[in-house]
């Protein structure tokens, strides 16, 4: 049964991710296709609080499919964390006569959406836009594939100089408390080892792996470090290794925000487009307080609370493959 929703607001919140613009484009075009009015909310929840809102049209989203970042801008709103801030946001929600909200972002953004929906009975659907890929209820989040490709391309370039000088490189990738980027870029970049938050790994184990590589006369060694790993950041791990293997010429590279930028891959553009359309169709069908995702290549709706709180586990098969190939 189709709901009576006629006017929808869309915002991006939290860290930007490649493909967010593609998702916005899909939300706008799908809304217009279904004869709905769509309004862009600038600067995330701060824009909802300040009333920085305007109606969007097909021409509003022309030529943004290939652009990284988000043309609606993004922010982490401290004021929205307060009851008073959310009340201001709801006043503008009513002022613009909005019926529902689409939030593109990660777990922090969805937490805010969940609270806002609960307090003011506002229909909300989330679209997972984060390079971390750490949300349950979807196989992939928007931006993850692009971030993995960016990291792997960087590792390929680092390997050129590592091989030329027979160096050991520690490369730190993003992902916060999740190791999805680290695992995929380690396999894709041919790393000798990877250290991720989800698996305990001692310095002695890493030393043993590096010694084995040296015994096999590896021309270069690259170790991938996820930023939230238990052993510390890439510099801390490199220092500990240097104390025990002083014959290695060691360098450290932190990829940082490089992974959040750039034109989205085809996979991220298609994913964002599918999820944007599904979000609007979900609202028309009366769905609320859910995140739309893709599971086994099929669109799926998961309660926002479940998407946030359920731990998304790394694939053990990928660890097995990485171990076999790191000899």
Domain boundaries along the sequence of the chain: 7-143+264-309, 145-260
Q: What is the value of pTM for the model shown?
A: 0.94
Partnered with residue 173 across adjacent β-strands are 226
pLDDT tops 70 at residue 3: no
Q: Which fold has domain 7-143+264-309?
A: Rossmann fold (3.40.50)
Is 7's pLDDT higher than 90? yes
Phi-psi region of 73 (alpha: psi -120 to 50; beta: other; left: phi over 0): left
Q: Is 184 helix (H, G, I), strand (E, B) or coil?
A: helix
Q: Is 60 exceeded by the pLDDT of residue 2?
A: no
The residue with greater pLDDT, 190 or 201, is 190
Tally Cβ neighbours within 10 Å of residue 34.
17
147 and 181 Cβ atoms separated by less than 8 Å: yes
Q: What is the pLDDT of residues 282-295, one digit of tens each?
A: 999 999 999 999 99
Kindly list the distances between the CA atom of residue 73 and the CA atoms of 2, 43, 208, 214, 251, in Å, as whole numbers in the listed order: 31, 5, 46, 47, 35
User: Of 41-50, 199-208, 214-223, 276-285, which range is least confident?
Assistant: 214-223
> What does the pLDDT read at residue 1?
42
Mind telling me the catalytic residues? 132
Query: pLDDT category, 190, cuts 50, 70, 90?
Result: very high
The residue count of the chain comes to: 327
List the structure tokens of 40.
């862009």
Q: Beta strands 7-12 and 100-105: pairing type? A: parallel
Cα separation of the two ends of the chain: 57
Highest mean pLDDT of the ranges 225-234, 239-248, 273-282: 273-282
124-128: strand order across its sheet? 53-56, 37-41, 7-12, 100-105, 124-128, 290-295, 298-303
Mean pLDDT for the stretch of residues 116-142: 97
Which helix (H) or strand (E) segment holds residue 7: the answer is strand 7-12
- Tell which CATH architecture fits domain 145-260: 3-Layer(aba) Sandwich (3.40)
Average pLDDT, the chain: 94
Q: What gap in Å lies between CA 322 and CA 187, rounded to an integer?
A: 6
- Which secondary-structure segment (H or E) carries 214? helix 203-215
Residues in Cβ contact with 280 at an 8 Å cutoff, skipping those fewer than 6 apart:
8, 27, 30, 31, 34, 36, 102
pLDDT value, residue 176? 82
- Report, as an integer, the average pLDDT of 126-138: 97
215: pLDDT strictly greater than 80: no
């Amino acid at each position: 049964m189709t709901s009576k929703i006629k006017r929808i607001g869309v915002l991006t919140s939290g860290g930007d991710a490649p493909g967010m613009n593609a998702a916005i484009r899909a939300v706008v075009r799908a809304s217009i296709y279904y004869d709905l009015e769509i309004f862009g909310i600038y600067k995330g929840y701060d824009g909802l609080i300040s009333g920085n809102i305007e109606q969007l049209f097909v021409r509003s989203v022309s030529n943004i499919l290939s652009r990284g970042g988000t043309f609606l801008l993004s922010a982490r709103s401290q004021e929205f964390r307060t009851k008073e801030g959310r009340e201001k946001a709801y006043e503008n929600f009513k002022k613009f006569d909005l019926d529902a909200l689409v939030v593109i972002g990660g777990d922090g953004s969805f937490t805010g959406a969940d609270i806002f929906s609960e307090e003011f009975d506002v229909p909300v659907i989330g679209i997972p836009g984060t390079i971390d890929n750490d949300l349950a209820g979807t196989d992939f989040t928007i931006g993850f594939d692009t971030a993995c490709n960016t990291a792997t391309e960087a590792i390929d370039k680092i390997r050129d100089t590592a091989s030329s000088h027979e160096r050991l490189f520690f490369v730190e990738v993003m992902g916060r408390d999740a190791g999805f980027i680290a695992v995929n870029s380690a396999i894709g970049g041919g790393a000798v080892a990877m250290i991720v938050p989800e698996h305990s790994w001692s310095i002695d184990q890493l030393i043993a792996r590096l010694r084995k590589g040296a015994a096999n006369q590896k021309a270069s060694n690259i170790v991938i470090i996820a930023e939230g790993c238990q052993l510390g950041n890439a510099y801390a791990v490199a220092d500990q290794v240097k104390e025990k293997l002083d014959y290695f010429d060691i360098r450290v590279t932190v990829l940082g925000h490089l992974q959040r930028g750039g034109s989205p891959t085809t996979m991220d553009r298609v994913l964002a487009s599918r999820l944007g359309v599904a979000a609007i169709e979900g609202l028309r069908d009366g769905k609320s307080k859910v995140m739309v995702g893709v599971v086994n290549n099929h669109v799926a709706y998961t309660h926002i609370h479940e998407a946030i709180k359920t731990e998304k586990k790394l694939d053990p098969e990928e660890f097995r493959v990485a171990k076999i190939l790191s000899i």
